[in-house]
Amino acid sequence: MGTQVWKEPFGSNNGELTISGIAVSKLAKRYGTPLYVYDLSVVQKKYEMIKEALPGFDVFYSPKANPNLHIMKRLTSLGAGLEIASGGELFLARKAGVSVGDVVFVGPGKTDSELREAMIAGIYAIVVESAGELRRIEAIADELQKDVAVALRINTMQTAESAPERMVGGPSKFGFDEESVVSAVNSVPLKRTRIIGIHVYAASGVLDVGELLSHFKRTLELAVRLSKEIGFALRFIDFGGGFGVPYTEEQNELDLKAYAAAVQEIVAEESKRTDLSGVRLAFELGRYLVAESGVYLTRVVDVKQSRGKTFIITDGGINHFMRPAFVNAKHHAVIATDLDGTGTVATVGGPLCTPIDVLVQELDVGSVEPGDLVAVFDTGAYGYSMSMLYFLSHSLPAEVVIDRGLPVLARRRGGLEDALIHQVNY
């Protein structure tokens, strides 16, 4: 498929795309379109790759990438924890059956209600974003008469220059500024709140091994230094994630083996100076684990010419798959029912009344007719979860997982009644 890490589970049969041997036309006929399809074998493979490459590190899955419970349950059954960012994700974490000792809560703007629920649940740690949040945590913990563990999120001074989305390095709503964190934390009297470590998320979509290693080394050294300057026993370091996946043929796959080998050397070197034997080292990963598992299927409704240009109009658009318009992302796509067709460059757009509703700017196609299927790859992360699903009152798409070669309905297709969800007194 060009941008996929493995050829499996994607293949072809008589010029038609298959997923784990299942023709996409059969999936579309059974479940309708637009449709998200996630192959759990890819999710499992990616997790196992990480654990094999980085033994001794915990992996926390970030359900913001894809909150589908089938995916969450598969990952937690393999040993992954969950890095949640809302009360809703705490609710999903409970549904997924993960141990509360394997849940961390990150993100700015946590409400008192969310903090209280996390403390009552007894999760492993709350990641603190500011002195104000630290004060609220201490007050709620005192109210509950319950001790709570926290990690300090740090807005470091360095970032990953090549990353498409940078989270640190300048003014930010995320975390304590590195240069003032000591005074900020020391300004808050703590009785119930116990600091156990730090969390640094530098950037998303990073494919450069050197930048990832620089971030890892800085974070490790920063954790050791802050534990001494603030005066807490270091028990937890969350190195964030940001591991990229290649969305286009011009991008290279992250060299995980090279990264992992260098990480082990960095840890071994620091261990000569610092006792890390009781420190939980963790990565939080979302996109890297699930992006390549997903395919977004949408059916061709119309094919038209406009001033020398071909437009393919589909029944699903950026209301269901927002990434291309929202972050100017380019995803590999094909006419799934005619993989071998070429010769015409077309723009693929959805049914929405806005010119930004474009899924693919330039797609090399052959003969395309209404009823054909378009497949957009690498949509397992920030596809369904990032989209403006209620725009123009189109029905919500269905989600299907392929589990051990068999399709399973994971989310029912919506209907016209979706437009009335939570509306009252009409």
Taking only the tens place, the pLDDT of each residue in 348-377 is 999 999 999 999 999 999 999 999 999 999
Q: Over range 171-178, report the average pLDDT.
A: 93
Are 236 and 276 in the same domain?
yes
pLDDT in tens, 322-348: 999 888 888 999 999 999 999 999 999
Residue 201 lies in a domain: yes
β partners of residue 12: 17
Angle at 102 between CA 202 and CA 112, to 5 degrees: 75
Q: What is the mean pLDDT of the chain?
A: 94
Look at the chain and count its residues.
426
Considering its fold, how many domains does the chain have in total? 2
Residue 159's pLDDT is 67
Determine, yes or no, domain membership for 85.
no
5 pLDDT above the threshold of 70: no
**Domain boundary at 285, 313, 348, which?**
285
**How does DSSP classify residue 243?**
B
Q: Are residues 267 and 183 in the same domain?
A: yes
Q: Kind and range of the H or E element at 375? A: strand 373-377
Q: Which residue has the tokens 């703007």?
A: 109
Is 80 exceeded by the pLDDT of residue 163? no
- Look up the domain containing 146 and give its range: 106-285
Q: Which of 153, 251, 244, 252 is nearest to 197 (CA)?
A: 153
Domain presence at residue 244: yes
Residues 308 and 347 in one domain: yes
Largest separation between any pair of C-alpha atoms in the chain: 71
- Domain-located, residue 352: yes
Same domain membership, residue 312 and residue 255: no
- Domain membership of residue 187 (yes or no) is yes
Residue closest to 339 by CA, chosen among 373, 379, 291? 373
**φ, ψ for residue 300, nearest 5 deg:** -70, 125
Residue 180: inside a domain? yes
Place 6 in a pLDDT band, splitting at 50, 70 and 90. very low
The token pair at 158 is 């360095």
Same domain, 301 and 278: no
Report the SS3 class of residue 412.
coil
Question: What pLDDT does residue 110 have?
Answer: 98
Cα–Cα distance for residue pair 346/308, rounded to 1 Å:
10
Is residue 4 predicted with pLDDT exceeding 60? no
What's the average model confidence in pLDDT over 293-306? 97
| Co-location of 280 and 385 in the same domain | no
Q: Are 277 and 299 members of one domain?
A: no
CATH number of the domain to which 319 belongs = 2.40.37.10
Residues 274 and 127 placed together within one structural domain of the fold: yes
Catalogue the E-assigned strands of 119-164: 125-128, 148-155
Please list, residue by residue across 368-384, b when 16 or more beta carbons sit within 10 angstroms of its beta carbon and e when fewer do.
Answer: beeebbbbbbbbbbbbb
| Structure-block tokens of residue 370 | 């209404």
* Same-domain status, 318 and 184: no
Strands of 22-23's sheet in order across: 10-13, 16-19, 22-23
- Domain check: are 193 and 261 in the same one? yes
| 167: pLDDT strictly greater than 80 | no
Q: Give yes or no for residue 3 having a pLDDT over 50.
A: no
Residue 381 and residue 207: Cα distance in Å, rounded? 16
Domain end marker among 285, 306, 327: 285
Please indicate, yes or no, if residue 251 is contained in any of the structural domains. Answer: yes
> Both 274 and 323 in a single domain?
no
Q: Left if phi > 0, otherwise alpha if psi is -120 to 50, otherwise beta: which for 422?
A: left
The reply to whether 111 falls in a domain is: yes
The domain boundary, picked from 285, 317, 341, lies at 285
Chain centroid offset of residue 207 CA: 15
CATH of the domain at 132: 3.20.20.10
Name the residue among 58, 110, 119 with its Cα closest to residue 85.
Answer: 110
pLDDT value at 130 more than 50: yes
Same domain, 261 and 126: yes
This prediction's pTM: 0.95
Over residues 249-256, the mean pLDDT reads: 90
Could you tell me what percent of the chain has a pLDDT over 70? 97
